[in-house]
Every structure is written in structure tokens, then in C-alpha cells.
Amino acid sequence: MTAGPPVVLDAMGGDHGPAETVAGAVLARRAHHVPITLVGDEPCLTSELRRHNATGEIAVVHADGAVPMAERGPAAAILATSSLAIGCRLVGSGAGAAFVSAGSTGAVVSCAVRGIGRSGVLRPALAVALPSLRGGASVLVDAGATADPSPAMVAQFALLGVGYARAVLGRPDPVVGLLSIGSEPGKGNRLTCQAAELLAALPVRFHGNIEGHDVLAGTVDVIVTDGFTGNVVLKNVEGCVRTALAMVAEAGIASPDRLAEVARRYDPETHGGAALLGLGGTVVVAHGSSRAADIARACVVAYALAGQDPADGIEAGGVAVEPVP
């Protein structure tokens, strides 16, 4: 990779705190040549860097506070001295190429919107690439950023997903499906039905409704839903994969190597977290339980995504823009 502005890493986020985030930063720097700036408690981070003989190798920006993992709402953004808020402002000012955090998703979204700003969208959305049965991956969007969106927001999520599929997955003309309780037109709740009408009028390849069993089947390239449903789907997929692999391993009907390969495809270390789309800069949200290898992968993904804008041209997408509070 060529040199450029660093990835800004919230070193205080996640369940395992600075010990794993700093180790992940060192791994990303040394194994993948990703420039990193750590944000957090400077004495603590300096001590952790010293353990890895990495003092002077990775920059540190001090932050007085940290947003608790239990924080979910906009109140987190008020903590102007937190590592989350300072990190987002660094990216918003151009001092960083991208921002990575394993902190609370709600807090990351709030701080990112304030510190970096939206890019022509009503609300940001989380995009996660899920491996499909046919090979490759499908993009699930929204995976948890906006739990209660309007139909217009859901339609814009589709445009963000199409941009992501083109920029990241290399799909020149992605097919979009709307997650619902039935594939027939008109099936679903009020939000889904109204969003379907908007999607049908957009300049995208709209497949129509898809169902839960289509999520991993590769039926479409972009799976669109609200953030509440998307997050439930994502957690369900992760849990079902773990359970199914454990049952197969117990039955002894597949080789351990093959099971490990399947597990790897769904591991956060492989996909590097979720990209928060619709902002004026790149943000990747790593899993709260991320260890060093997961953090490193998230930093690599963020660095690769920096400069690519899946929201480019979204204002011409034909979705009516509502007032944003």
C-alpha cells in the first residue's frame, strides 16, 4: 500500500480495550503497512506500545474520556473529549483517511454524523458482506445503524448498497432485493410496502421482495432492510453458523479442516467489520468482542475503502429528501 493519511483507531473501544486494539494496530502496521493513529488515554497507550516495542512507530492522540459500550444513543456524542468524538473529528478535518472503532454502534454513528457529517443521505447505514452459497458475497444494508427508518431512508440504503457492491465487491450492475415476509408484491409491513414502491421507481435492478432463506443463497447482490431487522438477521446468521458447525463437528461428518474453512468465511477477522456508509469519510465498525487480528483486519479494510464513496451520486437517485432533525 502507498503511504497516505493514517487510519484513526479508537483505542478505547470494544470489550477488551487498549490491550487488543493496540496489538491490532501494531499488526496492521507491521504486517499490512497501514499507517495508524491511536486515540485514547496517552499514558495507557504508550505503555501498551512499549510492550510491543512500537513506541515511535504509531502516533498517539490523547483523549480524556471513553464512551462506555452500554451507551447507545446520541448522548455519547456530547462527550467531546472522548476517543470516539476526537477520532471522528480527526477524519472530518482530513487528518485521517478513515476511522475504526469496536465501540458501541449507536455511539459510533452519533459521533461520526457530528464529527464527519453525512454525504447526501438522510441517515447512514451499516453494510456487511455476507458469504453466499453460490460463492462471493451479498451486501446486507442496514445492519444496525438506523433501527427505525422511513421508507425514503430504506430506499437510500439500497443506493448505498449498490455503491458498495460496485466499489468493494466489483459488481457492475448489482441486483437489489428488499427483505420481507414473502416474495410476492405487497407482502410486508407498512414500511416494507412503501419502500418497495420507492425502490421500483429507482434506477437500480430491483428484484423485488426476498425472504429470510434468501439471505445466504446469493439470490441478490444487495439485501435491503431497516437497521433493526438487519441487525437481528446478522446476529441470527452468526449464531446459526456457530451452532450448525458445532453440531456437524460433534457428529463427525466433515473434516475439521473443512469446518474451519467454513467458519473462517463468517469470522469478523475475515470481513473486517461493517462499513458505515453515507458519511463524508470512511468509517468501519468492528465487532465489540474483536481481538487483535479482528482489529487489524478492520484497519486494513478501512484503509482500502478510504477515498471510495458508495454514496457518490445518491442525490440524483430520485428519492425524496425529508427534513432531517
pTM summary value: 0.82
Say if residue 8 is exposed, middle or buried (CB neighbours under 10 Å; 0-12, 13-18, 19+): buried
Query: Residue 24 and residue 8: Cα distance in Å, rounded?
Result: 13
Span 155-174, pLDDT tens digits: 999 999 998 888 778 899 99
Read off the pLDDT of each residue in 60-75 and give the average, rounded to a whole number: 74
Q: Is the pLDDT of residue 268 over 90?
A: no
Per the DSSP assignment, residues forming a β-bridge with 36 are 7
Least confident of 44-53, 58-67, 109-118, 265-274: 265-274
Nearest residue to 100 via CA among 281, 310, 309? 281
Residues of the chain with CATH 3.40.718.10: 1-121+278-325, 122-269
pLDDT at 86: 95
Q: Is the pLDDT of residue 193 over 90?
A: yes
Q: Secondary structure of 121-184 in the HEC alphabet?
A: CCCCEEEEEEECCCCCEEEEECCCCCCCCCHHHHHHHHHHHHHHHHHCCCCCCCEEEEECCCCC
pLDDT at 269: 52
Span 273-325, pLDDT tens digits: 789 998 989 999 998 888 999 999 899 889 988 866 666 655 544 454 343 33
pLDDT at 60: 96
DSSP letter for 7, please.
E
**Mean predicted lDDT score pLDDT of the chain:** 86
CATH number of 1-121+278-325: 3.40.718.10
Q: ∠ CA 300-77-40 to the nearest 5 degrees?
A: 50
Span 1-21, pLDDT tens digits: 446 799 999 999 888 889 999
Decide if domain 122-269 falls under CATH 3.40.228.10: no
